[in-house]
Amino acid sequence: MLTWSHAVLYVQNLQTMLQFYCEVLGFEVTDRGPLAEGAPEIVFLSQDPSEHHQLAMVATRQDAAPSNSVNHFAFRVAGFSELQAFHDKLKAVSGLMLNPLSHGNTLSFYFNDLEGNGIEIFWETPWHVAQPQGKPWDPSMAEAEALIWLQETFGHDPSFEPVADYQSRRRAAQGL
């Protein structure tokens, strides 16, 4: 079974991107150095002490247009309050356009980083809902209000169920 490890971004302005990812999103530089003698520097970033890097950047991007080979990278937060804290922090960044969207199984914010790479920050809700689905949500809601809104908005869907039930069924189908 594969588990997610990391992604490497080609960037134009390494310093600007490092500042955004470290100061706004909370990553820290774990290592850096040239890929080979005379080659560009690669910078490794992580938020997880058990992961050497979750993301790396190499300043070799030539095209100034937004990336078109990856739609977005998604980052999970552990709690609703952490999601709201990121919302407040991101609102303060000039030029970022936040798109709050819920898929029923998540409450998310979509936005582009400073070089146009798509990012999603999400909190997993206690429910499974078949995908694709998406509805705008109000980030000013308190957690209890958001949970009620999720049930009212997605609860009519025949696939709506506790995520633990959905995961249990998937494990059983895989013989686990």
Whole-angstrom Cα Rg for the chain: 18
pLDDT of 174 > 90? The answer is no
Task: Quote the mean pLDDT of the chain.
Answer: 92
Q: What are phi and psi of 44, to 5 degrees?
A: -100, 140
pLDDT of 2 > 70? The answer is no
pLDDT at site 36: 85
Strand partners, 102: 107, 135
pLDDT at site 71: 81
User: In the chain, which ranges are E strands?
Assistant: 7-10, 28-34, 41-46, 55-58, 73-77, 99-102, 106-112, 118-124, 127-128, 135-136, 161-162
pLDDT band at 61 (very low <50, low <70, confident <90, very high): confident
Give me the CATH code for the 1-61 domain, please: 3.10.180.10
Q: Do domains 1-61 and 71-176 have the same CATH topology?
A: yes
CATH fold for the domain made of 71-176: 2,3-Dihydroxybiphenyl 1,2-Dioxygenase; domain 1 (3.10.180)
pLDDT of 153 > 80? The answer is yes
Stated pTM of the model: 0.84
How much is the average pLDDT of 158-162? Answer: 95
Q: Mind giving me the DSSP string for 133-151? A: --EE--TTS-HHHHHHHHH
Domain ranges of the chain: 1-61, 71-176
pLDDT band at 3 (very low <50, low <70, confident <90, very high): low
pLDDT of 84 > 80? The answer is yes
How much is the average pLDDT of 73-97? Answer: 93
pLDDT tens digits, one per residue of 16-27: 999 999 999 999
pLDDT of 69 > 80? The answer is no
49 by DSSP, 3-state: which? coil
pLDDT of 123 > 90? The answer is yes
pLDDT of 65 > 80? The answer is no
